[in-house]
Amino acid sequence: MNRSVLIVGFVLFVAMMGSNIPAPLYELYRVHFASTTFVMTAVFAVYPIALVVMLIVFARLPDRIGRRPVLALGIAAAALGSIAFVVAQSIALLYAGRVLAAVAIGAVGAAGPPALVELDNKHDRRRAALVATFAFSLACGVAPFLSGVLAVVSAYPLIAPYVVQLVLCALAFASLALVPETRLPRPHEDAPVPQLVPSARRAFLAAALTSGIVWWLASLFISILPAFVATLLGVRSPALQGALALIVFAVSPLAQVVGRRTSDRFAARAGLIGTVLALAAILGAVPAHSLALFALGSFVAGVAHGLGFLGAQSTINHIAPPAARARLSARFYAITYLCIGVTVLGVGALTARIGLYPALTAVAAVVAVAALALAVVIPATGRAEA
Task: Write the pLDDT tens digit of every residue in 245-302.
Answer: 678 888 988 898 888 888 899 999 999 999 999 999 989 988 888 888 888 998 999 9
pTM of the model: 0.78
Q: Cβ of 243: how many Cβ atoms within 10 Å?
A: 20
Q: What are the residue ranges spanned by the domains of the chain?
A: 3-180+193-377
Please give the pLDDT value at position 242. Answer: 62
CA dist., res. 47 & res. 40, Å (int): 12
Q: Name the band, by pLDDT with cuts 50, 70 and 90, for residue 165.
A: very high
Q: Cβ of 103: how many Cβ atoms within 10 Å?
A: 23
Helix axes 67-87, 160-175, angle to 10 degrees: 160
Res. 312: pLDDT tops 90: yes
- Quote the mean pLDDT of the chain: 84
CATH architecture designation of domain 3-180+193-377? Up-down Bundle (1.20)
CA angle 134, 237, 248 (to 5 degrees): 20
Which runs of consecutive H residues, i.e. helices, occur in the chain? 3-20, 26-32, 37-58, 61-65, 67-87, 91-119, 125-153, 160-175, 198-220, 225-232, 238-258, 264-288, 291-319, 325-354, 356-377
Region of residue 66 (left: phi > 0; alpha: psi -120 to 50; beta: else): left
Range of 203-207, 233-237, 334-338 with top mean pLDDT: 203-207
